Homo-oligomer: A and B are copies of this chain.
Amino acid sequence: MSAAKLASVSPSIQICRIMRPDDANIVGNVHGGTILKMIEEAGCIIGTRHCNSQPGDRCVAALARVERTDFLHPMFIGEVAHVSAEITYTSKHSVEVQVNVLAENILTGAKKVTNKATLWYVPFSLQDVDKIVDVPPMEYSRPEHEDEGKKRYEAQKLERLETKERNGEVMTSVPLPEAYTVGFSQSSLIHLVGPSDCTLLGFVHGGVTMKLMDEVAGIVAARHCKTNIVTASVDAINFHRKIKKGCVITVSGRMTFTSNKSMEIEVFVDSDPLVEAEKGKYRAVTAFFTFISLDKDNRPLAIPPLKLEGEEEQKRFEEGKTRYLQNKAKRLADKERHQ
């Protein structure tokens, strides 16, 4: 089948999916981010398909730009989102995709347009990730469509150049702490508690919290030693206060101690009930995670020592060392008992 023929056989694509509880906030409004993700998935599929519709390097369409997008109506859990995408312009190295989103209430049959979006893709070769491949030209049903597309292409090209310059500037202003200090690897994440994170009582499953804690601790460890790191142990964790559906939790981690072959990371979980602000933020959980670093054959590597700044960090390091020595002694005692 010729490239042109294939393109004309599938000039558009339609994705549809039922909106689920985890796609929405507590009130049932689907997150804008869920819709943006579907829009981009449709764009990526049709863009990749078009760019592979002729012989030559196989490639994947990478998103280069999204034009301003309005959310015209809210979408709700239980509705079916229809995302339809079609290619509307091609330049030598880019593809313009236009996407429409429709929300259908399958119980009443009501449909409403929620979004119209325009995306630009650039195809990168599967053989050489940094090589941009040529885009097969599309056929326009009317010549003026090509002219209008060209105008949009030139306009966005200009704007991309402008923001590129602006962006370079911003980044340099960010101050970087010195490597191997506590501040250097310190990390935190926020997580909006969704329905699937919760028990029947509407409280977060302890396991969900622990997974996030391990994720943050792992990022702290990887930032410190920049190798393959794995969890070696978790100290006792106490869950003092329950975390409710709809809360935002902040999970923060900082390195407290390094031995020759291990790192100890302290992790805090703070819960913020957002809407019921009068209740205030509170600390829900804290714990110490120990990570080790592994080489290609899964053998432990040496850990760069933590650089301490100030009395407090020194104090926490000493406490970490005490825990480390206690656990080591305990492991030895257990070993002897089992022999």
A17-61 interface bits toward B, Cβ cutoff 8 Å, 1 = contact, 0 = none: 110111001110101111011111111110011001100001110
- CB-defined A-B contacts under 8 Å, sample of 30: A6-B111, A20-B22, A20-B195, A25-B230, A26-B78, A29-B294, A31-B231, A33-B215, A36-B211, A37-B208, A44-B205, A44-B207, A48-B107, A52-B106, A52-B108, A58-B275, A64-B238, A66-B236, A71-B232, A71-B233, A74-B298, A80-B219, A106-B223, A124-B201, A156-B236, A163-B238, A176-B281, A219-B274, A223-B248, A226-B275
* A14 interface residue per 8 A CB criterion: yes
Enumerate chain A interface residues (CB-CB to B < 8 A).
1-3, 6-7, 13-18, 20-22, 25-27, 29, 31-34, 36-45, 48-49, 52-53, 58-60, 62-71, 74, 77-78, 80, 104, 106-109, 111, 119, 124, 126, 129, 156, 159-160, 163-164, 167, 170-171, 174, 176, 179, 187-192, 194-196, 198-203, 205-208, 210-216, 218-219, 222-223, 226-228, 230-240, 242, 245-246, 248, 268, 270, 272, 274-277, 280-283, 286, 289, 294, 298, 327
In the complex, chain B residues whose CB is within 8 Å of the CB of A53: 109, 277
What chain B residues lie within 8 Å of A42 (beta carbons)?
Answer: 190
Report yes or no: A3 in contact with B109, Cβ–Cβ below 8 A. Answer: yes
Q: Please report the C-alpha to C-alpha distance between residue A201 and residue B246 in the assembled complex, in whole angstroms.
A: 10
Bound Cα distance from A270 to B9, whole angstroms: 15
Assembly of this chain: how many copies? 3
Determine whether the beta carbon of B239 is less than 8 Å from that of A109. no
B-chain residues with CB within 8 Å of residue A41 when the two chains form the complex: 17-18, 192, 205, 207
Contact A31 B106 (CB under 8 A): no
Give the nearest-CB partner of A227 in chain B: B275
